[in-house]
Amino acid sequence: MAAILNFMPEIQIPLEELRNWGQLWLSTNNPDTGGIKQANCFVRKQSVNFATFIDKAVAESLAKMLGNIPVVAGSAKKLIPSQADCVEMGPARIIGGVRPQNFDVAYRPDGVRIAFDSKTLNDIKSVGKNWQNMVNDLATEAATVHTRFPYAIVAFMVMIPEPALGSKQQADLVRTLERMASRKDVLNQSHLAEAISLVVWNPVDGTISKSIPEENSVLRIEQFSKILYPQYVSRYKGLPPHDEAGDEVENENDEN
């Protein structure tokens, strides 16, 4: 039975969970080791685990869009998903045209159709030192997918605590990410992405900034699903596993 495409729900980031992470970010106590840490940053373990709930929110939204299919755990050791039609969350190993790459969320029923990665810059030092390297990583990840799978949709979400973002860095980062989030056609350059969200969050209360990026920016998280869904529909509507009832019969009649 064909999976019926649904409009992709808006990505919902749990406010309480983001607020809890904010308390860890602000604290000088390290609950993972019982030791002391610097305020306004994560320790390494926290940085690695921070975006997991973001990946979960994206995976669940994609699963609903794709016909309420299951979300399953990915594996860095497997080159195909564990089920025929599912969204993988966790390390999904994709062999691209540039390099092998593990993505946080993937949909690949017949090869890569959607690849998503979350990125975090978690303190002032990290933003200042690493934001340009992160941009390079985004471009390389998009290129490694698109050079082998030009019809694939590559999407990213970048998370940064608002106190860690300087005004000059903010302007440069927003302009750069907006340029990168401009791949609307399969013939566009491979290093561009179909969708990118920049989520600037407040560690004190877990809220997401309403002004960074600006309301009309393609980087707003509210725009993520609105951009990704029509891209997917334009490339895959009517094709398995979303073939509509009657398509096969009509095609057979056309051949007679």
pLDDT single digits (tens) 135-183: 999 999 999 999 999 999 999 999 999 999 988 899 999 999 999 999 9
pLDDT at 4: 87
Is the pLDDT at 248 greater than 90? The verdict is: no
Residue 6 belongs to a domain: no
Is the pLDDT at 254 greater than 50? The verdict is: no
Both structure tokens of 168: 């000059």
pLDDT at 1: 59
Residue 139 belongs to a domain: yes
- Mean pLDDT of the region 204-226: 97
Both structure tokens of 182: 């401009």
Q: How many structural domains compose the chain?
A: 1
Asked whether 158 and 131 are in contact (CB, 8 A), the reply is: no
The amino acid sitting at 216 is N
pLDDT at 3: 77
Residue 205 belongs to a domain: yes
What's the whole-model pTM score? 0.92
Q: Could you tell me if residue 238 is left (phi over 0), alpha (psi between -120 and 50 degrees) or otherwise beta?
A: left
Range of the domain at 73: 15-244
Where in the chain does DSSP place strands (E)?
29-30, 35-36, 71-73, 87-95, 100-107, 114-120, 153-161, 195-201
Residue 250 belongs to a domain: no
